Structure 1
Amino acid sequence: MNRRSARAPRLLTVLALVAALVAGAAPWAPAADGRPTVTLSASQAGTGGSITVKGAGWGPKALLMLLVCGQATPARGVVGGTNSCANADGLAVTTDSAGTFRKRLPVAEPPAACPCVVHVATATGPKAQADAAFQVAGHPVKPLPKESGTGRLSMVADTRLDGSSGVLTWFGAPPSRSFVFTVGNVGTTPVKDPVFQVGTSHGVFAPQWEEQQWRGTVEPGRKARIELPVELTAGAHGSYLVSLKYGGKVLAEQPWGVGRPWGVTLFWLLLCVVVPAAVFRIGMAVVDRIRPRDRYGAQGRHRGRRLARLGARVPGLRPPRQDPPPAGRPLGPAPDTSPNTLPWFAPDTGPSAPEAGQLSAPSDNSTTTKGNP
């Protein structure tokens, strides 16, 4: 009996340790409703410190973003959106094959006052998010803004992007679409001129939110079809995601594939061909103008070209044919071969003609021909 009584405290100790391990592992299990969960190693820490963030129930190999956000509670979420979060000090983490993660997160003061949370959201793939209450030591605390009225809008129909890209978009103009969706008022009071937030994100970057107000009133129990313009920056291309937020909650998301502006590429290719050709033509024109010209060849060729162009305009007119100078002949004016001088005498060295009345008699030694007296 003494041995059994001695073993009883040991058995209780082992059971207590097992219960503690099970209790410690419980936060890693997903919630009963299938939503992802987030737990923190401490509920309060000061700026410059760090806390350990654990999560479970996320998709396998999912990329998550961890942020410290102000003006947020786990029940209402981040009221001011990601603008209320310390985005510069956020971290990214990838879950394992079981959908769990563990990450050390530095504590930073968010731009908005507390109450604060550690906000975890997926960066790629299916959208999911979870919040855990957290207090930044020394950070100011302000109450959350009250919810206006009892009118609530909810998405009741699928969203779509209407419109198409024009010719200017092919040359780099900003792509634009109309975000069309239908909402219903599930509250008890009318919702007048609601303000929506439309955000566009590219890749793993956070959405850039822009507030847009819809002019109109949605009565309780009624629906309204709303169109909001969406525009990207000039030259944008690739895969984008358009998100719609109202009252701090994301109502809908729509993917948008933007084609590459090939017109800009074609323009630069043509520019690389036209500019060198123009420079070459200008250079050849300058060289042709400043080079020395010969009297016979250059002028004759230009004259022949002008006559050829003139003959092409006037039917029946043909320019005279000009034979090229013979080989070895020097270029320049042709020598004078008139009958006044013999070709083998120079003009000043030829025999002079006898003057009139000075005919000389034949010499005595000269021979005479028959028939002469």
Structure 2
Amino acid sequence: MPCGTNANDLTRDKFSSVRKNQETATRFGVFLSTIVVPILLLLYSALWFTQFYVGLGPDSPPLNKVITTEQLQYGQKIFPLALTCNHRDGCYFRLTGADACASGTVAGGAGPNNGFCSDPTLLPVASGGASTPASCGVGSQCNTAAAANACGTANGPCCRKATCDTELSSAQGVCAFSPPGADPTDALTVAWAYKSGCSGACNFGVTLVTDYIDSNGDVAQKEVKVHRGIALMNLIEHDDPKMSWSKSHPNYAANKKKTTMYEWSITMVDVEGTVDAVSNLCMNQMRADNLVTSGGTVYARRVKLVPAATYTKMSTAYPSPGLAYLSAIGGISSTIMAVLAYVHAFHLKFLNRAASSAPQAAP
């Protein structure tokens, strides 16, 4: 009982109709008002804070973190993407949007090669294979030391060759976007060479570098080997004002204050991944590297990385515990008082019935 509380003080009966009838005040009502109500509110408060911060089991998660998800169209948005070449002889990258990656906006529309890699200096030409392809005419942009990397020519779309263990991201013109009306065949494509046969390591020439949420709830980084063929890329954008980055993350110092993270995953929809002359994939560079025979046979495998039509945005919010508690305690207080008022009314009826049935004293 709180200090200074008199359980016999009938004015403390919060359940009596004081303004109407003082006789409805009882010691039981005082007990309900000064003892039962505070205890019930304390118990509810303990339960509420446990639920808010800890949760009450798998079916009743904590309330201090609210996660909402929504499916969105790419629209004009561009998202960061990082790949690593892991083939010993290097990889050929068809860069579908170098200008877009640099500017942060989708440009050009749906036409072929619009906005494709107009800057020929984004990636260096590998030490080998920089000779002029025989198919390039004199005076054309192919007739240079970077002939194999000419962009938008009749011999093939823009292509660059990266050495093994080279990581490519937006700085080199690798990013992800899906403009309305874009041709799915204009996906980011990576090819790697093989000389004879294709088994084992030949099936994997590139890895996807992505952030993810580890078992501790921190943002870490991993690499996912990509099989040859066509890979559908799925994106989850995590938006969390209290995002925590793992100290093992290679970019921890630069990212530790960021509140947005992009998690990529892939679904293989085709595992063939053959390259032929008809596909016209990086043919300038491949001809320069003697990977295409006179009959059109291409000694290479490739993967097309195609973004899904939509991406998932996962937003995390943290409600104010003070405001949430005041709202909850106000509602439960009214409920408790209403229930105990019925108990008090029943007690009064019991007292009145007992008083009416008591024998009257003789005059």
TM-score relative to the length of structure 2: 0.22
> Which structure exhibits the higher relative contact order, with contacts defined as CA atoms closer than 8 Å and separated by 6 or more residues?
2
* Higher relative helix content: 2
* Higher relative strand content: 1
Structure possessing the higher radius of gyration over alpha carbons:
1
TM-score relative to the length of structure 1: 0.22
